[in-house]
Amino acid sequence: MNQFTDLLDLNDEKSYVALLMEEGLSKAEAEEAFRSLRSVYEKYQAAFDSLARKRWATPRQYWILETEIGPRISDSRVMVYDVLDYLNQGASAEEIAEICNLTFRQVEVALKYIEQHQTALEAELSQIKIQQAQEETLARARQKEIALKAQEMSMVRESKTSYQPPENQ
């Protein structure tokens, strides 16, 4: 067996079918999905094996970058505040990884950082949310002003085009 097959364990059809059925697929659909996955793997085996060697042979190291706008997870645009916010909303690490398009290792690094700096991060996140609410209120007010001006301009245009000068008798 090779690295990619070991990773996916494509030789264990029964387990895959059972997992896919737990996700709501019928047995026939699950079996077909497994056969399709195995077929794609067999067709592109060399590429998958190369990918496995490059991607999974040595674990990637991630860290938190201290930036001017706050702590950011390396190899991403995701801020630690985003992870903390999702965490506060009750999201699991797996859900956060999926929502933010992060690896599980990146989420683990963020969670460890949050654990070490929780008090300061909670205070900063609170300030960020207040600032975002103020900016949203301001943006809505500006949008309302723009809509009123557009409506006024439309009315002025209509009055100019509908104006009929009195006829000279």
Return the H-helix or E-strand segment holding 67.
strand 64-67
Q: Quickly tell me which residue has 């009750």 as its tokens.
A: 90
- Cβ atoms of residues 33 and 25 within 8 Å: yes
In a domain, 164, yes or no: no
**Predicted confidence (pLDDT) per residue in 2-56, tens digit:** 444 444 556 667 777 888 888 898 999 988 988 888 888 788 777 777 766 665 5
**Predicted confidence (pLDDT) per residue in 72-118, tens digit:** 999 999 999 999 999 999 999 999 999 999 998 999 999 999 999 99
Last residue of a domain, one of 20, 39, 56: 56
- Cβ atoms of residues 99 and 89 within 8 Å: no
Confidence at residue 53, expressed as pLDDT on a 0 to 100 scale: 63
In a domain, 165, yes or no: no
Domain that holds residue 23: 3-56
Q: Residue 95 maps to which CATH number? A: 1.10.10.10
In a domain, 103, yes or no: yes
